[in-house]
Amino acid sequence: MKFKVFDSYDEISAYSAELLAEVVKSKEDAVLGLATGSSPVGMYKELIKLNKDGKLDFSKTKSINLDEYIGLEGTHDQSYRYFMNTNLFDHINIDKKNTFIPDGTVEDLLDGAKKYDELIESLGGIDVQVLGIGPNGHIGFNEPADELKMNTHVAELTEETIKANARFFASEKDVPTEAVTMGVGPIMKAKKIILIASGANKAWAIKSLVDDVITTKIPATLLKLHPDVTVVLDKEAAGML
Ligand code: F6R
């Protein structure tokens, strides 16, 4: 696992965009595993810039997102579909038909989850997976637990995650309590992983990545078993290293 520590969020974003751009350039139909949340927003802005400047072409690129809240339509301004459209897809030359996000509104969520795994399989897996990290060490919405799931599933969000995400909603009670998330299987099978973390509230979770323990109680610790992970972070997130 490589750690790259920067002074500012802008530098984190530029560096992460460079890593992702390398993959897009090296394979025209690359499959990008994407995340929402505040961590990758700056990187998405950089990618938009590269695309607008004609330096990066997404016309054949495919993307598959980690997760989606249950019960929110794609038009809801806090849904992850809306987030991806407004923060990236609407501004680059990707074909929206090639962008995939779990659907948290289907009646049969189990069937939806199974189909999402089949979709990942049919895309041939993920070339590069972008991850944020929860203050509790979650990746995607794979929350700390006695067991982790390989496959896409319905996850109940922990109180800590609901609190952390309340900043995006009118109030804490508006935060959905469940989400559909990719399991740890496809994440760990991604060829390359870029994990972005900024701020002191991530310091504890980041420290767990260097400690000599792998535990489902801190899901991100599984990443220690992956051969190609780059953790891109600021000094605050690196504060306990
Ligand atoms: C988002 C996701 C989450 C976030 C994590 C960090 O798709 O799967 O695991 O990456 O909660 O969120 P931010 O970046 O908002 O601190």
Ligand 1 closest atom vs CA 131: 10
Average pLDDT over residues 4-16: 98
160: Cβ–Cβ under 8 A, 6 or more apart, which residues? 134, 135, 136
- Ligand 1 proximity of 62 Cβ (cutoff 6 Å): no
The band of 15, judged by pLDDT with boundaries at 50, 70 and 90, is: very high
3-state secondary structure of 209: helix
115: Cβ–Cβ under 8 A, 6 or more apart, which residues? none
The C-alpha angle 63, 166, 65, rounded to 5 degrees, equals 10
Ligand 1 closest atom vs CA 67: 7
Residue 9 has a pLDDT of: 98
* Residue percentage of the chain with pLDDT more than 70: 100
Average pLDDT over residues 88-116: 98
- Average per-residue pLDDT in the chain? 97
Inter-residue contact 2 to 231 (CB < 8 Å): yes
Among 51, 98, 136, 165, the one annotated catalytic? 136
CA of 119 to the centre of ligand 1 (A): 22
Ligand 1 closest atom vs CA 161: 11
Tens of pLDDT, residues 139-153:
999 999 999 999 999
Q: How far is it, in rounded angstroms, from Cα 223 to Cα 214?
A: 9
Inter-residue contact 53 to 45 (CB < 8 Å): no
Tens of pLDDT, residues 68-84:
999 999 999 999 999 99
Residue 4 has a pLDDT of: 98
Nearest CA to ligand 1 atom 15: 37
Tens of pLDDT, residues 151-207:
999 999 999 999 999 999 999 999 999 999 999 999 999 999 999 999 999 999 999
Can you tell me which residue has the tokens 């530029």? 14
Among 46, 143, 165, 234, the one annotated catalytic? 143
Pairing of strands 67-69, 178-181: antiparallel
Q: How far is it, in rounded angstroms, from Cα 151 to Cα 186?
A: 8
